[in-house]
Amino acid sequence: MEMPRVDPFVLSKKAQLVSRLLDVLPADAVIHDAQETIAYECDALTAYKCPPLAAVLPRSTAEVSAVLAICHAMGVPVVPRGSGTSLAGGALPTADSVILGVARLTEVLEVDYADRFIHVQTGRTNLSVTGAVEADGFFYAPDPSSQLACAIAGNIAMNSGGAHCLKYGVTTNNLLGVTLVQMDGTVVEIGGAHMDAGGLDLLGVICGSEGQLGVVTEATLRILPKPEGARPVLIAFDDNEVAGACVADIIKAGVLPVAIEFMDRPVIRATEAFAGAGYPDVEALLIVEVEGSPAEIEEQLAVIERIARTHDPVELRRSNSEDESARIWLGRKSAFGAMGQINDYMCLDGTIPVSELPRVLGGIRELSHRYGLDVGNVFHAGDGNMHPLILFDANKPGDLERCEEMGAEILKLCVEVGGCLTGEHGVGVEKRDLMGYQFNADDMEAQMRVKDVFDPAWLLNPAKVFPLDTTAERRA
Amino acid sequence: MLRPKTEDQLAEIIRGANRPLSVRGGGTRHQPGPGEPLTTERLTGITLYEPGALTLVARAGTPMTEIDETLAREGQRLPFEPMDHRALLGTTGTPTIGGAVAMNVSGPRRVQAGACRDSLIGVRFVDGAGTVVKNGGRVMKNVTGYDLVKLLAGSRGRLGILSEVSFKVLPAAATQATLRLTGLSIPRAVEAMAAGLSSPFEVTAAAHDPQVRETWLRIEGMEGSVDYRAGRLAQVLAPFGEVERLDAAESDRIWRAVRDARAMEGEGDVWRVSVRPSRAPKIVERALADAAVLDWGGGLVWLRVPMGTDLRSRLGDFDGHATRLRGTFDPPPERPAVAALTAGIRYRFDPRGLFA
Q: How confident is residue B31, by pLDDT bands cut at 50, 70 and 90? A: confident
Q: Which of B121, B145, B171 is the last residue of a domain?
A: B171
Greatest pairwise CA separation for chain A in angstroms: 71
Classify residue A460: in a domain, yes or no.
no
Of B151, B198, B349, the CB nearest to A201: B151
Instruction: Give the count of Cβ contacts less than 8 A between chain A and B.
Output: 268
| Contact at CB, A205 and B147, closer than 8 angstroms | yes
Contact B279, B296 (CB under 8 A): no
| B266 and B167 both lie in a single domain | no
Classify residue A45: in a domain, yes or no.
yes
Contact B144, A199 (CB under 8 A): no
Classify residue B194: in a domain, yes or no.
yes
Helix, strand, coil tally for chain A in percent (to 5): 40, 20, 40
Chain A residues with beta carbon closer than 8 angstroms to that of B225: 292, 295-296, 299-300
What local confidence, expressed as pLDDT, does residue A475 receive?
94
| A99 and A119 both lie in a single domain | no
Residues 188-217 of A with CB under 8 A from B: 188-190, 192-205, 207-209
Q: How far is residue B222's CA from residue A196's CA, in Å, rounded to a whole number?
A: 30
Classify residue A465: in a domain, yes or no.
no
Q: Which of A42, A77, A103 is the last residue of a domain?
A: A103
Classify residue A315: in a domain, yes or no.
yes
| B154 and B190 both lie in a single domain | no
| A199 and A215 both lie in a single domain | yes
Classify residue B300: in a domain, yes or no.
yes
Q: What is the domain count for chain B? A: 3
For B347, phi and psi rounded to 5 degrees?
-65, -40
Q: Which of B259, B283, B301 is the last residue of a domain?
A: B259
Share of chain A above pLDDT 90, in %: 88
| Domain containing residue B195 | 175-259
Of B151, B159, B276, the CB nearest to A194: B276
| Domain containing residue A308 | 230-331
Classify residue B345: in a domain, yes or no.
no
A452: pLDDT strictly greater than 90: yes
| B66 and B183 both lie in a single domain | no
Of A13, A107, A93, whose CA–CA distance to A55 is shortest?
A93
Q: How far is residue A78's CA from residue A459's CA, in Å, rounded to a whole number?
A: 6
| B66 and B161 both lie in a single domain | yes
Q: How confident is residue B254, by pLDDT bands cut at 50, 70 and 90? A: very high
Q: How far is residue A379's CA from residue A424's CA, in Å, rounded to a whole number?
A: 12
What local confidence, expressed as pLDDT, does residue B18 receive?
93
What local confidence, expressed as pLDDT, does residue A295 receive?
87
| B160 and B190 both lie in a single domain | no
Q: How far is residue A230's CA from residue A292's CA, in Å, rounded to a whole number?
A: 6
Calculate how close chain B gets to A119, using CA atoms only, in Å: 13
| B3-18: average pLDDT | 98
Calculate how close chain B gets to A357, using CA atoms only, in Å: 11
| A127-133: average pLDDT | 98
Q: How far is residue B339's CA from residue B23's CA, in Å, rounded to a whole number?
A: 23
| A318 and A235 both lie in a single domain | yes
Q: What is the domain count for chain A? A: 4
* Mean of per-residue pLDDT scores for chain B: 97
| Contact at CB, A452 and B348, closer than 8 angstroms | yes
**Measured between CB atoms, does A137 come within 8 Å of chain B?**
yes
What local confidence, expressed as pLDDT, does residue A241 receive?
85
Q: Which of A190, A225, A260 is the last residue of a domain?
A: A225
- Containing B161, the helix (H) or strand (E) segment is strand B160-168
Chain A residues with beta carbon closer than 8 angstroms to that of B334: 198-199
Q: Which of A303, A331, A359 is the last residue of a domain?
A: A331
Q: Which residue has the higher pLDDT, A63 or B31?
A: A63
Chain A residues with beta carbon closer than 8 angstroms to that of B104: 196-197, 201
Classify residue B352: in a domain, yes or no.
no
What local confidence, expressed as pLDDT, does residue B33 receive?
86
Give the residue from B15, B73, B143, B158 with the most A CB atoms within 10 Å of its CB, the best one to mutate: B143
Of B145, B225, B345, the CB nearest to A435: B145
DSSP string, A38-70: GGGS--S-TT-----SEEE--SSHHHHHHHHHH
| B276 and B321 both lie in a single domain | yes
| Contact at CB, B75 and A352, closer than 8 angstroms | no
Contact A309, A235 (CB under 8 A): no
**Measured between CB atoms, does A442 come within 8 Å of chain B?**
yes
Classify residue B269: in a domain, yes or no.
yes
- Containing A139, the helix (H) or strand (E) segment is strand A138-139
| A46-66: average pLDDT | 97
**Measured between CB atoms, does A256 come within 8 Å of chain B?**
yes
Any idea what DSSP says for residue A83? S
Of B138, B143, B159, the CB nearest to A423: B143
Classify residue B347: in a domain, yes or no.
no
| A105-115: average pLDDT | 98
| A171 and A263 both lie in a single domain | no
Q: Residue A320 is part of a domain; what is its CATH number?
A: 3.30.70.3450
| B296-311: average pLDDT | 98
Classify residue A68: in a domain, yes or no.
yes
Q: Residue B200 is part of a domain; what is its CATH number?
A: 3.30.70.2860
Classify residue B337: in a domain, yes or no.
no
| B93 and B212 both lie in a single domain | no
pLDDT in tens, B127-143: 999 999 999 999 999 99
A202: pLDDT strictly greater than 90: yes
Classify residue A297: in a domain, yes or no.
yes
| A301 and A402 both lie in a single domain | no
| B184 and B253 both lie in a single domain | yes
Q: Residue A186 is part of a domain; what is its CATH number?
A: 3.30.465.10
Residues 359-378 of A with CB under 8 A from B: none
Alpha helices, H only, A164-264: 165-168, 202-206, 240-252
Q: How far is residue A235's CA from residue A312's CA, in Å, rounded to a whole number?
A: 10
What local confidence, expressed as pLDDT, does residue A377 receive?
93
Classify residue A185: in a domain, yes or no.
yes
Q: How confident is residue A145, by pLDDT bands cut at 50, 70 and 90? A: confident
| B183 and B160 both lie in a single domain | no
Chain B residues with beta carbon closer than 8 angstroms to that of A248: 52-53
Of A116, A161, A299, the CB nearest to B198: A116
Chain B residues with beta carbon closer than 8 angstroms to that of A426: 143
Identify the closest residue of chain A to B102 by CA–CA distance: A200
Calculate how close chain B gets to A276, using CA atoms only, in Å: 31
Identify the closest residue of chain A to B339 by CA–CA distance: A199
- Containing A346, the helix (H) or strand (E) segment is strand A344-347
Within 8 A by CB and 6+ apart from B167, the residues are B55, B56, B57, B78, B119, B120, B121
Name the pTM for this structure.
0.97
* Mean of per-residue pLDDT scores for chain A: 95
pLDDT in tens, A175-187: 999 999 999 999 9
| A99 and A114 both lie in a single domain | no
Any idea what DSSP says for residue A125? B
Identify the closest residue of chain A to B148 by CA–CA distance: A205
Of A112, A204, A447, the CB nearest to B117: A204
Of B146, B191, B337, the CB nearest to A188: B337
Classify residue A444: in a domain, yes or no.
no
Q: Residue A388 is part of a domain; what is its CATH number?
A: 3.30.70.2740
